[in-house]
Amino acid sequence: MSASGRVRIIGGTLRNSRLEVPDLPGLRPTADRVRETLFNWLQPVVGGARCLDLFAGTGALGIEALSRGAAAVTFVEREPRLAAALKANLARLKAPGGEVVGDEASRWLRGPARPFDVVLLDPPFALDAWAETARLLEEGGWIAAHGWIYVEAPRGAAFILPANWLMHRQGHAGEVSYTLYRRTPADPLS
């Protein structure tokens, strides 16, 4: 993050808008270059999509999706200051379709599910929450039958994801690995 506590939206209707972000330890917004690559990959599907930004943090991923035509984004963020900043940024940018949920992702995912077309999964690296969160998403019915899942993790991290998440594209930036998966419905005979 820049020293000024701001993150820039890089594409769409909100391009060049700045998000005001509290200075909190461990906060690691997705780099501009990575967001640009991700949304180039998602460009054919993000318009009109229902998106879930888990571990939202700054909300940059979800706001980028709204900026590029997503119909709705649910942001889940446990840190009250980040959730409040996210609500303020959405209001200031007049970004319709954003819903901020102040809760732990794992607790929220145990509630009633609604399927999302695109899931953005970028937990704090120290939590090591990828496998458990992926299991909750898959078992809980949170991902549409042919939905897309973006996973950001430390380069070289090892964790198990559901077998029906098929890697579509992958990249690296510094010490970060980012991968876009396509969900296929589970085989009813297995």
Q: For 64-94, how does the pLDDT look when each residue is reduced to its tens digit (9 = 90+)?
A: 999 999 999 999 999 999 999 999 999 999 9
Q: Does the pLDDT value for residue 50 go beyond 70? A: yes
Helix axes 32-46, 60-67, angle to 10 degrees: 40
Q: Does the pLDDT value for residue 1 go beyond 60? A: no
| pLDDT bucket at 30, cuts 50 / 70 / 90 | confident
For residue 146, the tally of other CB atoms under 10 A from its CB is: 11
Q: Does the pLDDT value for residue 21 go beyond 80? A: yes
186 pairs with which residues across the strands? none
What is residue 178's predicted lDDT score, i.e. its pLDDT? 95
Domain 6-183: assigned CATH number: 3.40.50.150
Averaged pLDDT of the chain: 90
186/10: higher pLDDT: 10
What is residue 128's predicted lDDT score, i.e. its pLDDT? 86
Residues with Cβ < 8 Å from 68, sequence gap 6 or more? 11, 12, 13, 39, 42, 43, 46, 47
How many Å apart are CA 58 and CA 50, to the nearest integer? Answer: 19
What is residue 187's predicted lDDT score, i.e. its pLDDT? 55
Q: For 96-128, how does the pLDDT look when each residue is reduced to its tens digit (9 = 90+)?
A: 899 999 999 999 999 999 999 999 999 988 888
Q: For 123-168, how does the pLDDT look when each residue is reduced to its tens digit (9 = 90+)?
A: 988 888 999 999 999 999 999 999 999 999 999 898 999 999 999 9
